[in-house]
Amino acid sequence: MVSETEDKVRLIRDRLKIAFDRHKSYVDLKRQEIEFSVEDLVFLKLELPLELDRIHDVFHVSMLRRYRSDLIHIALVKEIEVRPDLTFKEESVQILDRNVKVLRRKFIPLVKVLWQNHSTEEATWEPKDTMH
């Protein structure tokens, strides 16, 4: 009986190993080697909540994505008035479109706003009554 139990345990171990190896081979197909150099520009695939703003700036490499240079990402610092607390005020430039959001018993007039130092792709829908 002990020998029979040992055989079953061996069989279970072998099947678990086969299943693990199969799963690992599927995962390895999607895995990419990620390598960055000092001074490479990257995006962090994580938006930290405000309560974590003092967190240490060390992240696992899997949380980073390579940054590809694009001229629309460049904003000249002198064009933006940065406050001492490193914030700035968004200023609307133009209303691009109008719409009305219909809820059950409520109609909310909206305007599509183009913001200063942003492209038209970054325009946002805002409630009409909050825009002056």
Return the HEC string of the chain.
CHHHHHHHHHHHHHHHHHHHHHHHHHHHHHCCCCCCCCCCCEEECCCCCHHHCCCCCCCCHHHEEECCCCHHHCCCHHHCCCCCCCCCCCCEEEEEEEEEEECCCCEEEEEEEEECCCCHHHCEEEEHHHCC
pLDDT per residue as tens digits for the range 39-50: 888 877 676 667
pLDDT in tens, 112-126: 999 887 888 889 999
As a whole number, mean pLDDT of residues 5-18 equals 95
Question: Does the structure show a pLDDT above 80 at 4?
Answer: yes
pLDDT digits (tens, 9 = 90+) for 47-104: 666 766 676 667 777 778 888 777 766 666 566 677 777 777 788 888 999 999 998 8
Kindly report the pTM of this predicted structure. Answer: 0.39
